[in-house]
Structure 1
Amino acid sequence: MEHPDHPFTELFEQLGLASDPAAIQRFIERHAPLPEDIELPDAPCWNEGQAEFLREAIEADADWAEVVDHLDASLRKG
């Protein structure tokens, strides 16, 4: 089954966050580096709905999983 590609900006829109490139960069700079012992959905920067969306995307290997992995990797860089 093919998964649709979601751009990074669309993930930020889905999370209810500003999605222009500068806002995304500011978000990553503000919240990175995320400690290795904290799962992405458990990071303190998410509200309950955002955390649930991220958790479901990862657990269900949903069509969002690839771009969520990209976000996780971006937040791990320091």
Structure 2
Amino acid sequence: MVTVRVLRFADGKPVTATSVAISRYGSGFLDVGGVFRGEYTNREGEVRYSKLDLPAKGKVIVDGHELYDGSLEEFMTFKI
């Protein structure tokens, strides 16, 4: 499971109703990766992807902007 939290850069408060998507890389012949559809952050500024198994590599896209490209972690925080 991966939880993405989005905070405002200016004051550190949660950003609500912001689109978050994860594009996961495949790691081998049978593991083709995939895109975990865009979800919107809740009132805590979080989105949880419970069907995403770790370890994994991929991209995190917030509000249409790629913010991260690399190893995915169980809990990831981004300030925008």
> What TM-score do you get using the length of structure 2 for normalisation?
0.27
Greater share of helix: 1
> What TM-score do you get using the length of structure 1 for normalisation?
0.27
Greater share of strand: 2
